[in-house]
Amino acid sequence: MASFGIDDIELATTHYALDLEALANARGVDPAKFELGLGQTRMGVPAPDEDAVTMAATAAARLLERTGTEGIRQLLFATETGVDQSKSGGMFVHGLLGLPSNMRVAEIKQACYAGTVALQTAISSLVREPDAKVLVVMSDIARYELDSSGEPTQGAAAVAMLVTANPRLVEIEAETGMYSADVNDFWRPNDSTTAIVDGALSLTAYLDALMGSWDDYRANGGHDIAEIDRFLYHQPFTKMARKGHRKLVQHAGGEVGEEVLESSFTYNRVLGNSYGASIYSALAALLHHEDDLAGKRIGFYSYGSGSIGEYFTGTVVPGYAEHVHVEPIQTELATRESIDFDRYVELHETVLPSGTDVETERVTTAPFRFSGIRGGARQYERTA
Ligand code: HMG
């Protein structure tokens, strides 16, 4: 029987970055709190001509440059920072990338968990249509109010994945565990550009859903913790993965140390929270920084506030190392423009009115930009 999973993966982030040391100094906080207490050193900050669509298009374009578009039957766009209440962000990406018309395009939402819905939906659909391919894109910008407890956990990134039969990177195993509970730990009302969070409740909701989804995973025939070699967690800040891992090891009776998490932090530590993209940025970081993963089993804990957790596993395909491409994201991270605190505040306070005609300032060097609003409709352009 064919296996299904992730055949290729790419990332993209924002033009700007803010050092958390600068944020700590401006807020009168010990920088060690952000670096050690949260496990974060920088965060992505979008330029005025960037949004979830432009980052998604950039990540997907990098991937499609290698794979081409043949056989792609669906584009599933996972986001909680959608740009329209009706039109899918995926439809803008479809247009920007010039994808074929004979495909399904839709947007999926459930906080940071939506990317996993897209991945699992893609796999289910491939069982019926194994020769098809699905382009799954997760793209988010995490925004909290200025000077709030969530402020140092902002960030942004997009991940694009090609999901196919007989994938070249990671085969996703069939066993999965779920845990849903209606909790007001984190949400963003329709009229707000920033999320509202009950920080303490969000930590317990994350851990409760981890325990619940792990138990369901085991009840559904999932592997013993000793059979899992690497552990990926949703990383709102990288320290959260450590908290989750400690709790899981204690709960599942294993003896797995935290060193198996380290390489998965490489990107998220400097991207910040990218909501739905976060766990898949962690996957890319793992694949990019370890070269002996062939045959190893990876545990995935995907969490989305509100709340749901899903635990599932995948195995790394022998030969995967020939199909990972570290250069695009590492160049992008190395060339992000650092901004100071004042520019960060200025960008944060700028919210475009939706009903007007407006041109955005030309800043990003990414191949796609949000060029403004005309007749109430968002406009995008490809620049490279
Ligand atoms: P806080 O109250 O500012 O921080 O909020 P704290 O006082 O709890 O300190 C944080 C850590 O820093 C602690 O470590 C301190 O000890 C340490 P811990 O005890 O937890 O291990 N610390 C220091 N360490 C070194 N040197 C120092 C120092 N001072 C303190 N000088 C909070 C923290 C996470 C609540 C806040 O950042 C927040 O509200 N973040 C947003 C919510 C969030 O990320 N929640 C995570 C779970 S929910 C989730 O993941 C879903 C989400 O991604 C959304 C979605 O699903 O769409 C958010």
CB atoms within 10 A of CB 325: 18
pLDDT of amino acid 220: 98
Q: Which pLDDT score, from 0 to 100, does residue 351 have?
A: 79
Six token digits for residue 189: 């009302």
How far the first Cα of the chain sits from its last, in Å, is 41
How many CB atoms sit inside 10 A of residue 190's CB? 5
Any catalytic annotation for residue 80? Answer: yes
**What pLDDT does 24 receive?**
98
pLDDT at 356: 79
Most informative mutation of 35, 144, 153 for ligand 1 (most atoms within 8 A of CB): 153
Q: Which residue's entry shows tokens 């007989």?
A: 166
The answer to whether the CB of 272 is under 6 A from ligand 1 is no
Q: Are 38 and 357 in contact (CB under 8 A)?
A: no
Q: Which two tokens stand for residue 325?
A: 């491409």
What pLDDT score does 64 carry? Answer: 98
- Provide the b/e sequence for 166-184 (b: ≥16 CB within 10 Å): ebbbbbbbebbbbbbeebe
**What is the Å distance from ligand 1's center to 211 Cα?**
20
Catalytic one of 10, 15, 50, 80: 80
Give residue 104's Cα distance to chain centre. Answer: 21
Burial class (CB within 10 angstroms; exposed 0-12, middle 13-18, buried 19+) of 291? exposed
Q: Kindly give the interhelix angle for 114-128 and 278-289, rounded to the nearest 10 degrees.
A: 70
Complex ipTM above 0.95?
yes
pLDDT value at position 116? 98
Secondary structure of residue 294 in the 3-state scheme: coil
| pLDDT for the residue 264 | 98
- Given the residues 94, 112, 173, 245, the one annotated as active site: 112
Return the closest-CA partner of residue 146 out of 45, 234, 33: 45
Per-position pLDDT tens, the chain of length 384: 689 999 999 999 999 999 999 999 999 999 999 999 999 999 999 999 999 999 999 999 999 999 999 999 999 999 999 999 999 999 999 999 999 999 999 999 999 999 999 999 999 999 999 999 999 999 999 999 999 999 999 999 999 999 999 999 999 999 999 999 999 999 999 999 999 999 999 999 999 999 999 999 999 999 999 999 999 999 999 999 999 999 999 999 989 899 999 999 999 999 999 999 999 999 999 999 999 999 999 999 999 999 999 999 999 999 999 999 999 999 999 999 999 999 999 999 987 767 779 999 999 999 999 999 999 999 999 999
206 ligand 1 Cβ < 6 A = yes
* 234 within ligand 1 shell (Cβ under 6 A): yes
- Alpha carbon separation from 288 to 11, 229, 266, 310, 336 (Å, rounded): 12, 16, 9, 24, 19
- Model pLDDT, residue 120: 98
Cβ 196 under 6 angstroms from ligand 1: no
d(CA 270, CA 155): 8
10 flagged as catalytic: no
Burial readout 41-70 (b: 16 or more C-beta within 10 A, e: otherwise)? bbbbbbbbbbbbbbbbbbbbbbbbeebeee
- Report residue 74 CA to chain centroid gap: 19
On the question of a cis peptide bond just before residue 307, with omega within 30 degrees of 0, the verdict is yes
* Cα–Cα distance for residue pair 44/47, rounded to 1 Å: 10
Report CA(160)–ligand 1 centroid distance (Å): 28
Question: Could you identify the atom of ligand 1 that is nearest to the CA of residue 186?
Answer: 54
Ligand 1 centroid–CA 62 distance in Å is: 33
Task: Give CA–CA dist 310/177, Å, rounded.
Answer: 5
Look-up: residue for tokens 């920084």?
Answer: 289
